[in-house]
Amino acid sequence: MANTKHHQILIVGGGTAGVTVAASLHRRGPGSLDIAIVEPSEIHYYQPCFTLVGAGAYDMAKTRRPERSLIPAGVTFIHGAAKAFDPDKNSVVLETGDALTYDYLVVCTGVKLDWDNIEGLSATLGKNSVCSNYSPLYAPYTWQCVQGLKPGSRAVFTQPPLPFKCPGAPQKIVYLTADRLRRAGALQACDLQYFVHAPVVFGVPFFARELMKVVARYGIKAYFQQNLVAVDGVAKTATFEAVGGDDKGKRTTVTFDMLHVSPPQSPHDAIKKSPLANAAGWVEVNQNSMQHVRYPNVFSLGDVCSTPNSKSAAAVRKQSPIVVRNLLRMIAGTPVEAGYDGYASCPLTTAYGKAILAEFIYGGKVTPTLPFDPAKERWIGWWIKTTGLPIFYWNYMLKGYEWFFKHDTAFKGDAA
């Protein structure tokens, strides 16, 4: 028989957002707070380093920790997945059939990777030189594929339709592959092709200009408004469809010796079909307060919410304190505040040992944290990406510490 249990604050999703919110609440709220986290995975991954794993610059084992080891003492860990949401009854039903009720709900389930939206992809992923840094199952195989490139090889890379998590990830592996070939003296003899669904290489013009210089420097062929629709791993072909321009609807098939796929992504089905979702399937929140627009006792953050920012761990770092403060305000009977400005950050690895630190808020306004030109490739960006941020993530952010340097919202360098 199905059980029903009640929790004061129910957090659905134990990834970056869920653990950060739980830890911050545990640190800041009264000791009597009853908090529970629902999460189906026993393993927690630091996903931003998957790109580095695929480039042979990071050990896969360092990206993972047991989920239970990250849950703060006193917070209930419910190992399971949500099947249905009924916010009118303050209820969440799990796949086991058990129901959980709540006073306050925090939804941070992340997104799912829609491999099956591309014909033939699932059947060949992880073999036939078809790889992806978007999954811990396949990121190590990316490095095998990169190592297999030799003079005369063609490497093809894709970027899916927005929104997807870490908008810089699809191109980071392109640059790192190119740099490895350059160091081996094989870049000129190879053919690197990057097929991008968007009409630009990056959504923030200030950084897009710099990234196009990187594309040109490596001799990468970039094709815009192109969407991957089919893969034949055995024949080593990838088929793309033009999504804009004069050739809209036209299909092009290319051969490859390596294909790196960044898959299309969407909310989980339980979210899409719930009353919490907007027309596109995302949890519909106020973009500044992170509070649901129809259900005041519901908040959402991270990749699954409707805020129009880049989906990244850096965004969660800024969203989490707003959610925590607003939950505590609601419990205390005071009004919520609107404090999230759309901040996101993306360390764009342009070579081994170099990265551009792209930081920006709503509207694509550039807001650097460090006091130097954010457009330049620097070794400090690489150190931050490979060493600084993982330490910060495990030992500071997931422990509920919130203080961080302010980003410069008065920066003037982002004129077109």
Catalytic (active-site) positions = 166, 346
Cα three-residue angle 248-249-251, rounded to 5 degrees: 115
Say how many C-beta atoms besides its own lie within 10 A of residue 295's C-beta. 18
Residues 3/99, Cβ–Cβ less than 8 Å: yes
Residues 332/170, Cβ–Cβ less than 8 Å: no
SS3 for the chain, per residue?
CCCEEEEEEEEECCCHHHHHHHHHHHHHCCCCCCEEEEECCCEEECHHHHHHHHCCCCCHHHHEEEHHHHCCCCCEEEECCEEEEEHHHCEEEECCCCEEEEEEEEECCCEEECHHHCECHHHHCCCCCEECCCCCCCHHHHHHHHHCCCCCCEEEEEECCCCCECCCHHHHHHHHHHHHHHHCCCCCCCEEEEEECCCCCCCCHHHHHHHHHHHHHHCCEEEECEEEEEEECCCCEEEEEECCCCCCCCEEEEECCEEECCCCEEECHHHHCCCCECCCCCECECCCCCEECCCCCEEECHHHECCCCCECHHHHHHHHHHHHHHHHHHHHCCCCCCCCCCCEEEEEEEECCEEEEEEEEHHHEECCCCCCCCCCCEHHHHHHHHHHHHHHHHHCHHHCCCCCCCCCCCCCCCCC
- What backbone torsions phi and psi does residue 47 show, to the nearest 5 degrees? -65, -30
Dihedral sign (CA 221, 197, 120, 40): positive
Residues 204/375, Cβ–Cβ less than 8 Å: no
